[in-house]
Amino acid sequence: MSFVRTGKDFRSQFSRRLVAAAAVAVFACVSVFFSTDGLKGVAAQAAVKSSAPVQSSVLRRLTELQYKNIISDVFGPDIKIGGRFDPGMREEGLLEVGAGRASISASSLGQYVSMARSVAEQVLDEKHRAAFVQCTPVSPAGRDNVCAKEFLSAAGRILYRRPLEEGELSDLVEGAGLTADTLGNFYAGLQTSLATALQSPAFLFRWEVQEPDPKRKGVVRIDSYSKAARLSFFLWNTTPDAQLLAAAARGDLHTERGLEREVDRMLASPRLEGGVSAFFYDMLGLNEMHTLVKDTTLYPKYSFKIAADAEEQTLRTVLDVLLTQGGDYRDIFTTPKTFLTRQLGTIYGVPIKGQAAGGTPDGWQPYEFSADDPRIGILAQPSFLGMHSHPGRTSPTLRGKALREAIMCQKVPDPPGVVDFNIVQDTANPEYKTVRQRLIAHATEPMCVGCHKITDPIGLAMESFDTIGEFRREENGAAIDTSGTVDGVSFDDAAGLAQVIRDHPATTSCLVSRIFSYGAGRSPTKGEVAWLKQKVEKSFASEGFRIVPLLRQISLADAFFEVFAPKSEKDPMKSAALDMIRETREVIQ
């Protein structure tokens, strides 16, 4: 008995095979990553003659924003991405550091497969294919290995952030040929192989490959393509462009002059806005805005549109101070200038009508608060205030904790397991009308005093803003007291707190440490901590606390590219990857 398989039948079966193939690929690649022979063959640049094994130093999963940036940069902003991404892991205050521990779960592997297929179909549809497939196939109704190789080699080089190896490329070309033969469509074949590349661990994970350093016996370094990727994701939050990959191919990034030339070019690029925005999105924890919930019975003005605008408002404010004005980093806490939409205007009590001068087509307009207005800087914006409040009430403790940890890098201990919060939560208590009064009563418990002492004086200064960021002067008919102290320095209100935070040495010290960790994907070593404090922080201050010179100094530093190979079976990154292997096995089975 015989039958003819339709294109739809073939695609359906092939999609199931893609899921299993992706699982096998992840299993195989990660297994090789931790084999005793190291990562032989993962990148062509790793093939350096030496008796020392070549290993991968860092394995970071692409974040959702990085994935979307790459697709937009490589194939254009009109390519739609639909699907669910696994949530990131925050470590040392940063998702980017946690990305080194993140795997792809078996349950989400199918999502990556679906997204890969959707992107590939759009890229190679009749509307887009001419922009990306520069060659003309011998026949659009069958295979053409030469043309397929040309397209897949160029696309793969950008997506994998390195040249494809001969075996990788031949497999993709053969896969395209087999599909073209079966479906009688050359471009359907390219779709299959492009989708395969987009779900490969070489794309979904940022592999950093170590190689022996020819200038230092017994020492390893990351290869030139890994160096290009680290720079690009640090400064642009996307894949290296063709010029940076060309510099890597020539070996320029391993020379002082070549590295300086590329770093200066990248810092002068408009893409720097995306990189700086991504860092502050991570540092400030703005990903929490996507799932922020408020009690709309108590706060009817709140909506997910307000949350989205609040997130963007903070990033626009930061970019304006740091890049547009080239200003002092500390000024993001005290600037009276910001940007508003009509929706945000309702929170601020500011009427935004029509297209005012200086506004943008999407409704954003610049706005400057008066000199005596307490709503200055990013700490008084709805994003920070809303993220660190409960759905139906404010929380000076959460706000103070967030400021200490995210802005000043000071760890606040977690609360004890058994704590009575009844007094704090009773907002209708006639005896304790304000949050300050309820917290004072609550914090008299011995187990609570220590933590509240370092968080509440800060958070109480922001009590003039409710849980969605609207300004208020009273709570339950009682006047709100916003005075307090931070490490011995007094202030009267939120604006005074902003000035204290601006001038606090921990504020700039924290930024320097966070930026290094963000780019390197790990916490600094003891020696690097000393270097950051003694050299980088002093240079940052001498440059007027401007962000671009700071990024340049870190990007050119040897310490930024230092690598450390996994040392033991207990290595946490290895454990995470082994978990991924176990999960992907379930998909195969």
Same domain, 456 and 550: no
Residues in a beta bridge with 59: 207
3-class state of residue 575 by DSSP? helix
Read off the pLDDT of each residue in 186-198 and give the average, rounded to a whole number: 97
Higher-pLDDT residue of 464 and 5 is 464
Domain of residue 552, residue span: 509-561
Would you say 49 and 151 are in contact if contact means Cβ atoms under 8 Å apart?
no
In a domain, 264, yes or no: no
Confidence of residue 438 (pLDDT cuts 50, 70, 90): low
User: Lowest-pLDDT range, 160-164, 355-359, 566-570?
Assistant: 566-570
471 bridge partner residues: 465
Least confident of 4-18, 90-104, 430-444, 495-509: 4-18
* For residue 334, pLDDT beyond 80: yes
Q: By the 8 A CB rule, do 112 and 311 touch? A: no
Which whole-number Å values give the CA distances from 457 to 25, 450, 470, 484, in the listed order? Answer: 53, 12, 20, 5
Q: Are 486 and 526 within one domain?
A: no
328-337 b/e with 16+ CB inside 10 Å = b?
Answer: bbbbbbbbee
Residue range 473-486, pLDDT digits in tens: 988 888 899 998 89
Number of helices (H), then strands (E), belonging to the chain: the values are: 26, 9
For the entire predicted model, the pTM comes to 0.85
Evaluate whether residue 272 is within a structural domain: no
- Specify the amino acid at residue 567: K
Domain contains 77: yes
For residue 251, is it within any domain? no
Q: What is the mean pLDDT of the chain?
A: 84
Q: Do 552 and 449 lie in a common domain?
A: no
Tell me what pLDDT residue 360 has.
62
Give the total number of structural domains in the chain.
Answer: 3
- 106 assigned to some structural domain: yes
Report the pLDDT averaged over residues 167-189: 97
pLDDT-derived band at 423 (thresholds 50, 70, 90) equals: low
Q: Which residues contact 176 (CB under 8 A, 6 or more apart)?
A: 143, 148, 152, 189, 190, 192, 193
2 part of a folded domain: no
523 and 464 in a single domain? The answer is no
Q: What is the pLDDT of residues 382-406, one digit of tens each?
A: 999 999 999 998 998 899 999 999 9
Residues 88 and 185 in one domain: yes
Q: Give pLDDT tens digits for 239-292.
A: 999 999 999 999 999 999 999 999 999 999 999 999 999 999 999 999 999 999
Q: How far apart are CA 552 and CA 532, in angstroms?
A: 14
pLDDT at 238: 98
Assess if residue 254 is contained within a domain: no
Task: Identify the pLDDT of residue 445.
Answer: 57
pLDDT at residue number 412? 87
Rounded to 10 deg, the angle between the 166-183 and 186-198 helix axes is: 140
Q: Which residues pair with 208 in a beta bridge?
A: 58
Q: Distance between CA atoms of 202 and 196, rounded to whole angstroms?
A: 11
Asked which of 484, 503, 522 is the last residue of a domain, the reply is 503
**pLDDT for 433 beyond 90:** no
pLDDT (0 to 100) of residue 50 = 32
Give residue 184's region: left, alpha or beta (phi > 0; psi -120 to 50): left
Confidence of residue 216 (pLDDT cuts 50, 70, 90): confident
Q: How many CB atoms lie within 10 A of CB 346?
A: 16
* Whole-angstrom Cα Rg for the chain: 27
For residue 255, being part of any structural domain is answered with: no
| Last residue in a domain, options 458, 486, 503 | 503
Return the pLDDT at 194: 98
Work out the average pLDDT over 440-447.
Answer: 58
- 538/493 same-domain check: no
Per the DSSP assignment, residues forming a β-bridge with 339 are 366
Question: Do residue 432 and residue 289 come from a single domain?
Answer: yes
One domain, residues 34 and 183: yes
- Are 496 and 534 in the same domain? no
Given this model, what pLDDT does residue 428 score?
60
14 and 88 fall within a common domain: yes
Is the pLDDT at 340 greater than 50, yes or no?
Answer: yes
Q: What is the pLDDT of residues 26-83, one digit of tens each?
A: 444 443 333 323 333 333 333 333 333 334 456 899 999 999 999 999 999 999 998 8
Report the C-alpha gap between 357 and 348 in whole angstroms.
19
Give 73: exposed, middle or buried? Use CB within 10 Å, 0-12, 13-18, 19+.
middle
Among 21-30, 70-79, 113-122, 314-323, the range scoring the smallest mean pLDDT is: 21-30
pLDDT at 472 over 80: yes
Q: What integer pLDDT is reported at residue 431 of this predicted model?
A: 60
Check residues 107 and 555 and name the one with the higher pLDDT.
Answer: 555
Please indicate, yes or no, whether residues 226 and 308 belong to a single structural domain of this protein. no
- pLDDT surpassing 80 at residue 459: yes
Q: Are 52 and 214 in contact (CB under 8 A)?
A: no
Q: Alpha-carbon distance 5 to 348, whole Å?
A: 62
In a shared domain, residues 399 and 527: no
pLDDT at 16 over 80: no
Let me know: does 303 contact 343? Beta carbons within 8 Å.
yes
Least confident of 91-95, 107-111, 268-272, 482-486: 107-111
The answer to which of 4-18, 284-298, 374-388 has the lowest mean pLDDT is 4-18
